């Protein structure tokens, strides 16, 4: 997933549409304003003040808008704007739907957002999670480790069982040389108090790539770091990458817990100074990675290698 650069006319119409979404229910939220300013300055390279931008209707947006993935990119941007300050209302979602229809973009994420705005939380979460990286992880766990392996991983993630034999494979990372990827990962798990696969509360093995991404890219585990690592993963992910971004935005900016286990949520993180720019930079970094680490990537041949060697081999750009 790589960000595309539109021509100036298309960029201006797209920014006007994103502002129209932000103002659909009245005043623009503080996180929405900060996000729109970052889009204007960093992605679109435009100069007009946001306050000077007139609203635009769907037909005017679509007129002369180029065919292709740029249409989807702007609809994705509208979805993030809609969620930046919390759960959007129906008017905001309706505005995004109108723009998407005019651009002939059919996005499952938008249908999920409608369920969220209508407070159909069970249907929203079920559909969103099955399409998101959570669904991918569970499907990959099933493919790689069978039904019993999937069941054990789900029970372990919920703290209901442990697998000492499996956990011992990951404990061995402690004994690897300090500069290796595996030892860095072991320190990351212990420093943050996370369970290793096989331990109570540990994530399925098919989801370890998320933690590998944290370590390779150097992103923290606070709200800002989780948004960055989500964007980084979306950059290299080949299947439904935007769901990874939305997953993090929902938890850390819209205040909706999308995890399969209990966890903290926040609102308005995208409004913090420099956060939107950091998200865009992480997406660009991830787009340079040579492999989709989320697609059954085998990390075992890499854990004994020096972390800098792994970064170079996978083409992870410096921060």
DSSP state of 175: G
Say if residues 31 and 275 touch (Cβ distance below 8 Å). no
pLDDT digits (tens, 9 = 90+) for 126-160: 999 889 888 888 898 899 899 988 898 888 888 88
- Those residues whose C-beta lies under 8 Å from the C-beta of residue 302, and which sit 6 or more positions away, are 181, 310
pLDDT surpasses 90 at 260: no
Domains in the chain, CATH or no CATH each: 8-128 (1.10.3680), 133-314 (no CATH)
Say if residues 79 and 109 touch (Cβ distance below 8 Å). yes
Binning the chain into helix, strand and coil, the percentages to the nearest 5 are: 60, 0, 35
Least confident stretch, 13-17, 31-35, 158-162, 251-255: 158-162
pTM: 0.92
Q: How far apart are CA 252 and CA 268, in angstroms?
A: 7
**For residue 20, which phi and psi values (nearest 5 degrees)?**
-60, -40
> Can you tell me the mean pLDDT for 62-82?
93
Q: How far apart are CA 170 and CA 310, in angstroms?
A: 18
93 three-class SS: helix
What b/e sequence results for 193-222 when a residue is b if at least 16 CB atoms lie within 10 Å of its CB, and e otherwise?
eebbbbbeebbbbbbbbbbbbbbbbbbeee
Q: Supply the pLDDT for residue 311.
A: 97
């Amino acid at each position: 997933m790589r960000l595309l650069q539109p021509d100036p006319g298309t960029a201006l119409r797209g920014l006007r549409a994103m502002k129209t979404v932000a103002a659909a229910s009245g005043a623009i939220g503080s996180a929405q304003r900060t996000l729109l300013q970052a889009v204007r300055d960093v992605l679109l390279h435009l100069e007009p003040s946001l306050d000077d931008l007139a609203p635009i209707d769907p037909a005017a947006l679509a007129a002369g808008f180029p065919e292709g993935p740029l249409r989807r990119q702007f609809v994705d941007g509208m979805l993030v704007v809609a969620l930046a300050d919390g759960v959007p209302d129906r008017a905001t979602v309706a505005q995004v739907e109108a723009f998407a229809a005019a651009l002939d973009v059919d996005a499952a994420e938008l249908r999920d957002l409608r369920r969220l705005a209508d407070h159909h939380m069970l249907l929203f979460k079920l559909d969103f999670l099955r399409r998101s990286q959570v669904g991918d992880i569970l499907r990959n766990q099933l493919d790689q480790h069978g039904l019993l392996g999937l069941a054990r991983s789900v029970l372990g993630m919920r703290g209901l069982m442990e697998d000492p034999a499996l956990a011992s494979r990951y404990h061995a990372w402690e004994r690897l040389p300090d500069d290796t990827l595996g030892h860095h990962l072991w320190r990351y798990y212990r420093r943050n108090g996370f369970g290793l696969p096989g331990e109570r509360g540990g994530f399925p093995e098919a989801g370890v790539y998320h933690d590998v991404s944290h370590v390779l890219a150097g992103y923290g585990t606070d709200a800002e770091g989780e948004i960055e690592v989500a964007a980084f993963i979306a950059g290299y992910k080949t299947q439904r990458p935007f769901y990874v971004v939305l997953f993090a935005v929902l938890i850390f900016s819209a205040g909706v817990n999308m995890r399969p286990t209990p966890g903290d949520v926040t609102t308005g993180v995208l409004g913090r100074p420099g956060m939107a720019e950091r998200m865009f930079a992480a997406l660009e970094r991830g787009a340079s990675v040579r492999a989709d680490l989320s697609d059954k990537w085998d990390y075992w041949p890499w854990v004994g290698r020096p972390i800098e060697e792994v970064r170079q081999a996978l083409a992870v750009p410096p921060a």
